[in-house]
Structure 1
């Protein structure tokens, strides 16, 4: 059985019942995935640092704060983070990736980078030694409910080989199109944590959605 962590992507939840949803899911998940979108780097627009602070008051579980923004520096200035949280920035969104990594480290949060589908893993091989998490997008970022891009499996393999061969400590994550029919295959390619949206929140009960993902791996 693959050991993995499920981070429900709250963008797909009932936004008017977030507090209740988190209370229900807390015993069943390992953390939450929060997408900060600016309507510029990606076409969609979501919540900002104030909502992140509200989530932190609601749960003691780790947050993966996924900054899908053109100016991650500005977002980071307003974020309140905990040592258990991870701030994930897109390599495509900054011209000073090393500087951003250092700034996130200074907050005591964990550091993650995200790669869009068209972005090469090999290009950022050396950066992997500096981060805790590598999030590989398996859809084009911006909207939940998209179909998993099959070519992502090749990127998982490439990333896992680079991480293992160099002894890097960063964990591989998946975001986009994660569902019961593919989660086992995703994990078999070295992925350690998944951001799941529609597969959890389109279920009659989100707890059942989480359980279905777990059962798809353990059966």
Structure 2
């Protein structure tokens, strides 16, 4: 049986969702973040050297990285589900969005979170104006415009597509779920992206998603 090494409030929630959509039996082994550092516990390093989640074990096989896990599950247990036919436009979109989520979108969102923490952190009074000046300049000149560009691009795609790759939900939607629902949860007053907001509500309403929430426990972005 597949074991999901599940870190609370993390990307591994979407792996649980993928398994529920595929109807694959699984077991959840829970790990809790350090309350001070917010990092995963060292016990996860016994599963994978980097000690990060998500990671699954399937018998003697260990797979880390959510995109790789989704590909593995689709190829091993998906049958005709989760992956559009190779050579089709839907498959090209599937590959693109599967990589876009962590390769393009998440780095900018993480930079935003880090810089916002810096602005709120305690620091010597003589350092504060310099640090905050640098942060605001980078946010205004680089991070902010990149996030806006990415969200505009996604919003445009979702205006013409119910799902990211074709007419059916695929692994690309599982992969894109985490950054988009995190953004929606933290930007509840932003009405500039109605298609993204509707998309997040659409997949969160799925019965498989709701079952995954019960398996994973508390999840801030739901």
* Fold agreement, TM-score > 0.5: no
Structure with greater proportional helix content: 2
Larger RCO (CA under 8 A, 6+ residues apart): 2
Structure with greater proportional strand content: 1
Work out which of the two has the higher radius of gyration on C-alpha atoms and give 1 or 2: 2
* TM-score of the pair, normalised by structure 1: 0.31
